[in-house]
Structure 1
Amino acid sequence: MRRITRNLVVFLLALVVVLLALGALPSYIQTGDPYYVEATAVEEPGPTVDANNLTDRRFPYSVAAIEAAEAGETPARSEAYYTGPVGFKEAFTHTPFDEFGEFRTRNATAVERGAESPVGDTAYVELGGQRYRLEIVRVGAE
């Protein structure tokens, strides 16, 4: 009985380690061309998503791009997101595409599909009375 219990405990510990690795390691994969969210302040009116309640924990790419635009950076981009091999990473990490999906859920009229979907997707958000155009862009390997 002790041998079975020991083997079960070892198996469960190994399973926990594997599951933790699957949750943590994909964020370190940096293969392929990087994707960014770029923000541009715009003046034209139109439908928007309210960005006053966006947090950098839930929308890190969009918030970083807006902050870069407010700071006057050119181009005003978020940190890079790398897709990783065969779509494995997307299942375990947060992506800019997730953020634009949430924008679409909040106000579908404020999000436009890009010709190279999802690259080129555009969302319009409003923060503190300023309207921003957010776009997912793919930049060649740097």
Structure 2
Amino acid sequence: MRPIARNGLLLLVGVVLALLALGALPQFLAAGDPYYLTVEGAEDGPTLEVDNFSARQYPYLFEALSSDDGRSSAYRRGPWGLKEPFTNSPFDELQSLLEFAPEGAATAEAAFVEYEGTRYRVAVVQP
């Protein structure tokens, strides 16, 4: 094998390994206090119906909806902003809900959703 081909192949393998490492790295990058996506019962009003939403696309939301205490698992931001571009976060999910919510079904920090006939207020909290 020619040296230039060998070097190109080694560079390609190195890039692939680096990308794989970046995919696995975010779970190890955690700093600061935890954030939770919470759901709590809310009074009547406009809502975004989430019965047909995907639990794979909104894991924090559906974890909070199915939990006994109405909160998802903890999410910790990464140091220096390295984690956020590579992971789904409760902030991403809330932002998506705020964008899809009809008029009157959201405030600046919370969205109102309906799931299985019950209305919930969804927000990100830091205890």
Q: Do the two structures share a fold, i.e. TM-score over 0.5?
A: yes
1:35 matched to which residue of 2?
35
Alignment: residue pair count: 126
Deviations 1:20-74 (A, max 9, x none): 11122112322111100111122x1112111101222100111111111xxxx23
Establish whether residue 131 from structure 1 lines up as the match of residue 125 from structure 2.
Answer: no
Gaps of 5+ in 2: none
**Whole-angstrom CA distance in 1 between matches of 2:112 and 2:24:** 31
Structure 1 unaligned spans of 5+: 114-120
Alignment partner, residue 118 of structure 1: none
- Aligned in 2, Cα 1:108/1:55: closer, same or farther, shift over 3 Å? same
**Identity percentage of aligned residues:** 42
Q: TM-score, normalised by structure 2?
A: 0.91
CA RMSD of aligned residues (A): 1.4
Written as runs of structure 1 = structure 2, the 5 A alignment for 1:83-102 is 83-102=77-96
Matches within 5 A, 1:60-71: 60-68=59-67
* 8 A contact 1:124–1:132 mirrored in 2: yes
Assess if the C-alpha contact under 8 Å between 2:31 and 2:76 holds in 1: yes
| 1:112 and 2:100 aligned | no
AA partner of residue 60 (structure 2): Y
